[in-house]
């Protein structure tokens, strides 16, 4: 169980809707589950139990006990995604847009893990029953390549390789504005936003070292297509770093602009390339995932 406090800086509407939106990126709880938390006295406003319909006011203090449902488990489901590489130790999948990686209270089913359990007989157990085989994650609305471990030996080595920056991960993004330098390095520590739990931010307080290298691929009138190679793997790293230099990812509902929240595709960020030595055989593996059709449609629109 995790305890969270929120001090409101403005009137914020219905309690259940506000909390559903506030917790979406980190937990992706459904509105009905948030309502259950409120009704079970796990959410207090100014130390008082209130209705799900309570209208939040400026300076209200919300206290929450966040807990996962005890009955949560991952079951095999026929989920549509592509396996681009597979051997006896690992596989690499091409994660589509809007697919959550593993079950949680807000998404108890319909995740990549549910699909993996349907397609793959053996997965590593290190991640537990809800995250079998999951070595690293992509955000729900980020597309592209992800490594999945089939056994614990491969999982441990892949985790070590990630920590030592031995896995080359390259992303392609569409960002707002015309990025002037042809290439650059963003070296800015990332930590949890003090006032907004669903956001990360560049900060020196309770932060972690984070480096993103970017290269301009193509410039348009008001946007830029870039390649990003990350030296670290922090939550929302590319999204936070690009917003930090005033070029947020197009469609990002958290770090970009108000109009981006209307973008159904989400952020235009794609895990384009993986290159690494096999964790067991040491064989060189290099994989590329072409851009989703929505990317190319957006690029064509920028060129008009």
The half-sphere exposure of 211 on its side-chain side, counting CA atoms within 13 A, is 5
Q: Residue 272 has what pLDDT? A: 98
Give the separation between CA 154 and CA 91, rounded to whole angstroms. Answer: 11
CATH 3.30.2350.10 spans which residues of the chain?
70-164, 170-270+297-303
- Residue-averaged pLDDT of the chain: 91
pLDDT band at 2 (very low <50, low <70, confident <90, very high): low
Q: Among 4-8, 195-199, 242-246, 266-270, where is mean pLDDT lowest? A: 195-199
> What pTM did the predictor assign?
0.78
Active-site positions read: 139
Q: How confident is the model at residue 259 (pLDDT cuts 50, 70, 90)?
A: confident
Tokens of 297: 């449609």
What is the predicted pLDDT for the residue at 109?
Answer: 86
The CATH fold of domain 2-66 = 3.10.290
The domain 70-164 is placed in CATH, from the list 3.30.310.50, 3.40.720.10, 3.30.2350.10, 3.40.630.180, at 3.30.2350.10
CA separation for the pair 83, 92 (Å, rounded): 6
For the chain, residues classed under CATH 3.10.290.10 are 2-66
pLDDT surpasses 70 at 256:
yes
Residue 148's closest CA among 99, 90, 191? 90
pLDDT tens-digit readout, 149-165 = 999 999 999 999 998 99
pLDDT band of residue 25 (cuts 50, 70, 90) is: low
Q: Are strands 207-208 and 190-192 parallel, antiparallel or unpaired?
A: antiparallel
pLDDT at 72: 67
Query: Is it the case that residue 1 has pLDDT exceeding 60?
Result: no
Tell me what pLDDT residue 281 has: 98
**Cβ neighbourhood burial of 87 (10 Å; 0-12, 13-18, 19+):** middle
Predicted local confidence at residue 30, as pLDDT = 75
Candidates 3.40.50.720, 3.30.2350.10, 3.40.640.10, 3.40.50.300; correct CATH number of 170-270+297-303?
A: 3.30.2350.10
- Residue 103 to residue 111: CA distance in whole angstroms: 6
């Amino acid at each position: 169980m995790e305890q969270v406090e929120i001090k409101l800086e403005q009137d914020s509407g219905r309690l259940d809707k506000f909390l559903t939106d506030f917790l979406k990126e980190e937990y992706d709880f459904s509105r009905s589950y948030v309502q259950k938390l409120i009704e079970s006295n796990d959410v207090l406003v100014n130390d008082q139990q209130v209705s799900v319909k309570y209208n939040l006011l400026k300076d209200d203090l919300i206290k929450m006990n966040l807990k996962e449902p005890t009955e949560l488990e991952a079951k095999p489901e026929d989920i549509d995604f592509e396996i681009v590489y597979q051997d006896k130790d690992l596989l690499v999948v091409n994660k589509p847009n809007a697919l959550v990686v593993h079950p949680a209270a807000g998404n108890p089913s319909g995740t990549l893990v549910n699909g993996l359990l349907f397609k793959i007989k053996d997965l590593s157990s290190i991640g537990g029953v809800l995250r079998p085989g999951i070595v690293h994650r992509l955000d729900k609305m980020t597309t592209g390549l992800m490594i999945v471990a089939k056994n614990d030996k491969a999982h441990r080595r892949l985790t070590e390789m990630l920590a030592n920056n031995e896995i080359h991960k390259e992303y392609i993004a569409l960002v707002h504005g015309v990025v002037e330098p042809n290439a650059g390095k963003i070296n800015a520590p990332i930590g949890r936003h003090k006032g907004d739990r669903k956001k990360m931010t560049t900060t020196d307080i309770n932060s972690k070292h984070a480096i993103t290298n970017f290269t301009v691929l193509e410039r348009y009138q008001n946007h830029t297509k870039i390649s990003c190679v990350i030296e670290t793997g922090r939550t929302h790293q590319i999204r936070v770093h690009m917003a930090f230099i005033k070029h947020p990812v197009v469609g990002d509902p958290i770090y970009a602009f108000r109009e981006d929240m209307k973008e159904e595709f989400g952020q235009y960020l794609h895990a384009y390339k993986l290159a690494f030595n096999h964790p067991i055989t040491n064989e060189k593996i290099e994989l590329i995932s072409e851009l989703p059709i929505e990317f190319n449609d957006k690029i064509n629109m920028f060129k008009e």
